[in-house]
Amino acid sequence: MARRVLIDIVAPLVAADGRLTLALDDAPTRPYGPHVQGAGIHHNPAPGPAGSPHVYVHVFVVLALLAVHPSWGTIALPLLSRLYVRKKDLPGIDPKHRPGFRTKLVLAVELLQWAHPWLGLLGKPVWLVADGAYAKADVLKPAKALGMTVVSRLRCDVALWSLPPEVPADRRGPGRPWIYGERRIDLAKRAGQRRGWSTEVFDLYDGNLIKRCKTFTATWRPAGGAFRVVMVDEPTGWVAYFCTDLAAAVADILGTISNRFGLEITFRDCKQVVGAGQQQVRFIHAGVGAFHDCLWTFTLTEAWAWGRDEDALVDRSDLPWDSLLRRPSFVDKRRAWRRELLGEQIHAALRPGATDEEIQAAAERLLSLAA
């Protein structure tokens, strides 16, 4: 099913893009009730003012493809996910349904390896943007081996090194050439230096923003060699990002980082609108299947609405307080698709020659949907 979603549904939406951008992150979802297989106590990513630092949830590692709509901006279309179960929670699952233990990083690599051959059919370069938790050697080196360019965030205390010295070929000694330099690079000291900073306007988060940034190349052992670093001076302090493509422009790197936020919006809509995590299931495979149904429902809804006119998707005539210029939300698209499907059933039941039994069956289906 995931292959068909990628090839038949999502691929046509990105056919005109110069490159493909994958987004990778994990999504915690609250299961319906206690004693659900695969659920456990995990770190709460958004505790809020009164929230607990830990929460009882399922954690899914999700791979999505970022598609840029000409009017609606970047939309993350989920393709496939893997359920992460802590090692200490595995004994609570009966042996018949118990999966093997795999870390989030291992699950992430499995998703990339699944997507690589199918994306290769499109013949375009592939970028991967991931949360900083996945910026580790266990993900970076396999992604590099698959030919993917990785963009992510750097820790402030990361151990960077200078570029290796250039040695002429005629003076090179035996052995392999150097991969890493000898001089340590401290990001905090680089941020404190006045030279190298520049102020530019970037297209980020569906708008033009002025950013003060600095870029340079360095080497990092988890990345397997040289990569590009971009430091941004934010109101709350500097942050650092990286890209494994040395020739990548700063605008492309920061734009890819901002586009990753589309995956967070997708997670919100899948939970609040589609209902991910609200299924009353207990077995681990049933929970995985229900979560994928929610992900693919989101992707299919966005694909259905992709080429349609906004006026056909949104009717705000009964909402005078709402903004007429606001782009259609996922709820608007979902509602429009449901109206179309219901309309098709009504027209089919009212066609000439329809029997009383067919009309009665259609009426009962519509009443069950409305109730």
pLDDT by residue (tens digit) across 82-95? Answer: 999 999 999 988 88
Instruction: Give a yes or no: residue 143 inside a domain.
Output: no
Q: Classify burial at 270, counting beta carbons within 10 Å of its beta carbon; exposed 0-12, middle 13-18, buried 19 or more.
A: buried
| 292 and 328 co-located in one domain | no
- Same domain? For 301 and 330 the reply is no
63 and 99 belong to one structural domain:
yes
Whole domain around residue 325: which residue ranges?
316-370
Look at residues 76, 77, 73 and name the one whose alpha carbon lies nearest to residue 328.
73
pLDDT tier at 370, thresholds 50, 70, 90: low
**d(C-alpha 150, C-alpha 141), whole Å:** 10
**DSSP one-letter code for 92:** G
- Angstrom distance (rounded) from CA 313 to CA 175: 64
96 and 7, same structural domain? yes
CA distances from 83 to 39, 106, 291 (A): 9, 11, 10
> Does the pLDDT at position 61 exceed 60?
yes
pLDDT of res. 323: 65
For the chain, the domain total comes to 3
pLDDT of res. 84: 95
Q: What is the pLDDT of residue 361?
A: 80
Residue 30, φ and ψ in degrees, nearest 5: -75, 125
Query: Is 139 a domain residue?
Result: no
- Most confident range, picked from 153-167, 263-277, 338-352: 263-277
Q: For residues 206 and 222, is the Cβ–Cβ distance under 8 A?
A: no
- In this structure, are 167 and 268 located in the same domain? no
Beta strand pairing call for 184-185 and 73-84: unpaired
Average pLDDT over residues 332-345: 85
pLDDT of residue 219 exceeding 60, the answer is: yes
Helix 104-120 with 137-145: angle, nearest 10 deg: 10
Q: Is 280 within the bounds of a domain?
A: yes
Q: Give one word for 36, left, alpha or beta, with left for phi > 0 and alpha for psi -120 to 50.
A: beta
**What gap in Å lies between CA 317 and CA 322, rounded to an integer?**
9
Residue found by looking up tokens 């997670």 in the block: 267
d(CA 124, CA 255): 19
Residue closest to 107 by CA, chosen among 84, 78, 91, 90: 84
Sign of the C-alpha dihedral, residues 117, 120, 125, 129?
A: negative
Mean pLDDT across 99-114: 95
Please list, in sequence order, all residues whose beta carbon lies within 8 angstroms of the beta carbon of residue 341, skipping any fewer than 6 positions away: none
pLDDT recorded at residue 347:
75
Kindly state the average pLDDT of the residues 45-54.
75
User: What confidence tens digit (pLDDT) does each residue in 199-214 have?
Assistant: 989 888 777 889 999 9
In this structure, the answer to whether residues 328 and 303 fall within a common structural domain is no
Question: Taking 80 as the threshold, does the pLDDT of residue 350 lie above it?
Answer: no
- Residue 94 and residue 85: Cα distance in Å, rounded? 14
pLDDT at site 197:
92
Could you read off the pLDDT of 127-168 as tens digits, one per residue?
999 999 999 999 999 999 999 999 999 998 898 999 887 766
Provide the percentage of residues in the chain whose pLDDT is more than 70.
93
The answer to whether residue 35 is domain-embedded is yes
Domain termination residue (choose one: 229, 251, 273): 251
The mean pLDDT value for 21-39 works out to 88
Mean pLDDT confidence for 161-183:
73
Same domain, 163 and 224: yes
- CA–CA separation, 4 and 79 (whole Å): 10
- Please tell me the predicted confidence (pLDDT) of residue 364: 79
Q: What average pLDDT does range 361-366 have in this prediction? A: 76
Work out the mean pLDDT of the chain and round it to a whole number.
87
Look at the pTM and tell me if it is higher than 0.85.
Answer: yes
Do 13 and 116 lie in a common domain? yes
- Whether 138 is covered by a domain: the verdict is no
* Residue tagged 């941004």 (tokens): 232
146 within some domain? no
More confident residue, 369 or 12: 12
Specify whether the CB–CB gap between 65 and 12 falls below 8 A. no
Percent of the chain with pLDDT over 90: 49
80 and 16 Cβ atoms separated by less than 8 Å: no
Q: Which of 251, 276, 294 is the last residue of a domain?
A: 251
Shared-domain flag, residues 27 and 168: no
Same domain for 246 and 264: no
Domain edge (last residue) among 230, 251, 272: 251
pLDDT at 170: 58
Distance CA 193, CA 231 (A): 12
pLDDT band with cut points at 50, 70 and 90 for residue 324: low
Exposure of 21 by Cβ count < 10 A (0-12 exposed, 13-18 middle, 19+ buried)? buried
Whether 168 and 267 map to the same domain: the answer is no
- Is residue 126 scored above 80 in pLDDT? yes
Is 136 in contact with 105 (CB distance < 8 Å)? yes
pLDDT at 371: 55
Residue 60 located in a structural domain: yes
In a domain, 144, yes or no: no
Which residue spans within the chain are E strands per DSSP?
Answer: 20-29, 40-43, 54-69, 73-84, 126-130, 149-154, 160-161, 184-185, 198-204, 207-220, 225-234, 237-243
Say whether both 16 and 66 belong to one domain. Answer: yes
